[in-house]
Amino acid sequence: MVVLSHLALIFYPGLHDPTLINNNSIINFIFNSPLSFIYSGTAAVYIFFTLSGYILTHAFLSGGDMLNNATTMTTKRYFRLAIPATASCIFCWLVLSNETPGRELLSAWIQSYTVASPSFLNALYSGAVSAFFGDGSAYNPVLWTMKIELLGSFLTYFICLVLIRAPNKGLIILLFCIMFFVSSLPQKEKYGYIAFLFGSFIHFSGLNLRKGVALILMLAGLYLGGVHYGSRPYIYAIYYTRFYINGEESNAYILYNFISGVLITLAILTNNSLKMFFAKKPFVYMGKVSFSVYLFHLPFFLIIATGIFNAIYNAGYSYHESAITATILSIVTIYAVANLIFKAVDNPSMRFSSILAKFLFKTPTRIS
């Protein structure tokens, strides 16, 4: 979904912004229908946050000694995330330091993807430090999620320790959610932490929903994931959910995509039929390489998507033929290459972080 979101921003920005539809009837139809959930990158991010909360809670509780888990998993988490993130920034530096295919016919969004005076050391700092403890990365803009992923992981470990002997686990999680909700944190960030908390709640609750209920939640999540300001199916939903916290108006786009991510994850994790469906090989592979795809797709698209588009367009084909062909080939390419990235970058980062934890705490190595 993030991949499709960015490809839409490259070739058809009107799918995100109604002022850029330019009388294209197909784009206008998709934008003004719930079908826009297909390319909802923001909903996909909140699915990832919620799923991370669930998986980390499971890993924390199934690893034996809780204090040992708290120390080793907290130590490992930064390196597990930072090594691939830094590698992606170095790759972005290589791409941005060299000549790339022309972007004159494409959106202002992809044309603005540049870094003034890119350098190796700056890229290193951007991936290892700025992405986690600053305002994101200029080299790889998708790394805005890394701070939330890291701190959300720490929050999950803390919640697990707090809830070990708590009889009212759901109530305590709710209080933490309210605390974040009324905080002055940026909306995109605080909803990320709440998504982690919901992931923990799903694990602790042990819910087992009927298929009909799960499908209703799934459909509701998919519907909410299609929200955009100016989209006709959501005009009233946006209007009637306006509220202010700390003097700031709620952002309906972020709010509904957050709810979408939570509902979709809840539906899948609490129903055996949906679990079995998403346990099929294609979905398992996509899940395995999802982090690699997420981190490396943008610089790849800067080379591949724009290069393929220019080659086809210059051969005399129309803009739409060139854009659609470039989109399909770009998706196939990034998922094919992602397995190599997983083996070369992602998997070694898991092993290194586990070895480091074993060295520091003299504990058996667990890769997570």
Domain ranges in the chain are 2-361
Ranges of the chain with pLDDT below 70: 63, 362-368
**Residue 329 and residue 326: Cα distance in Å, rounded?**
5
Three-state secondary-structure class, residue 249: strand
Cβ within 8 Å of residue 65, ≥6 positions away: none
Phi, psi dihedral angles at 314 (to 5 degrees):
-70, -15
The residue written with tokens 């999540």 in the block is 221
What's the pLDDT at 356? 87
What's the pLDDT at 295? 96
Q: Helix crossing, 66-96 with 145-163: angle to 10°?
A: 180
What's the pLDDT at 345? 93
Cβ within 8 Å of residue 326, ≥6 positions away: 11, 304, 305, 306, 308, 309, 312
* 119-150 residue pLDDT tens: 999 999 999 999 999 989 999 999 999 999 99
* 164-210 residue pLDDT tens: 888 899 999 999 999 999 999 999 999 999 999 999 999 999 899 99
What's the pLDDT at 363? 54
**Residue 298 and residue 294: Cα distance in Å, rounded?**
8
Q: Longest Cα pair distance anywhere in the chain, in angstroms? A: 68
Q: What angle do CA 37, 39, 43 make, to 5 degrees?
A: 60
From 151, 258, 337, select the one nearest 266 (Cα to Cα).
258
HSE-CB for 134 with a 13 A CA cutoff: 12
What's the pLDDT at 358? 82
